[in-house]
Amino acid sequence: GESVGLHLPTLSVQEGDNSIINCAYSNSASDYFIWYKQESGKGPQFIIDIRSNMDKRQGQRVTVLLNKTVKHLSLQIAATQPGDSAVYFCAENNFGNQFYFGTGTSLTVIP
Amino acid sequence: ETGVTQTPRHLVMGMTNKKSLKCEQHLGHNAMYWYKQSAKKPLELMFVYNFKEQTENNSVPSRFSPECPNSSHLFLHLHTLQPEDSALYLCASSQGAGRIQETQYFGPGTRLLVL
């Protein structure tokens, strides 16, 4: 079966520092990945996605890196702000309409 | 945030009650989804509807009954639930039309507590 997991369940960073959140996946056939942010009391919010024909994609203050060799995905947040405090999780897809989600990493930004 | 709305936001029900969760999307999408989110567990897909037709049922117990009257509305009817059904129930939508690997947009969820 699918296995999407995160290396660390919690992460604390100082405001202004960069954050790196990691995700491992087990299905080498997965070719589409999404990072979601979920704040307390809210539903998951799309942050950025990447397809397997790319190894890096940048958004506003966020960068997603994909390493297909080791089946690893990371989300980098530049200049982390208090509003970035949330649970972040990745989702993978392999040609179907079903995504497999990780359990999430809780990011806490220390002012 | 207002693209997908869910009501109620919070629900407490007894095991003999019957209640319904409602989801509405304002994005012009054709596919809608129900997910269950339990503490410290990954999101679990429950049902998928594409153009009002159910295309996925991930072995969900019959005490959960979905209904999709049109592409904009999705319901989850609940009856004789168990305490372990307490969770956050999330609705999502995507473009649909047979496309695969579409980004799904989520509603805020309904926090359900079964006593």
Q: For position B59, what pLDDT does the model report?
A: 86
Contacts of residue A98 in chain B, CB cutoff 8 Å? 45, 48, 56
- Of the partner residues A4, A43, A100, the one whose CB lies closest to the CB of residue B108: A43
Q: How far is CA B94 from the centre of its chain?
A: 13
Contacts of residue B55 in chain A, CB cutoff 8 Å? 97
Residue range B72-81: mean pLDDT, rounded: 96
DSSP string over A55-74: SEEE-SSEEEEEETTTTEEE
Which residues in chain A show pLDDT less than 50? 1-3, 6-7
How many whole angstroms separate alpha carbon B11 and alpha carbon B22?
12
* Burial classification of residue A48, based on how many CB atoms lie within 10 Å of its CB (0-12 exposed, 13-18 middle, 19 or more buried): middle
* Burial classification of residue A56, based on how many CB atoms lie within 10 Å of its CB (0-12 exposed, 13-18 middle, 19 or more buried): exposed
Contact A46 B103 (CB under 8 A): yes
The per-residue pLDDT for range A74-99, each reduced to its tens digit, is 999 999 999 999 999 999 987 766 78
Query: Quick check: B63 and B40 in contact, CB under 8 A?
Result: no
Q: Which residue of A has its CA nearest to B39?
A: A103
Contacts of residue B41 in chain A, CB cutoff 8 Å? 103
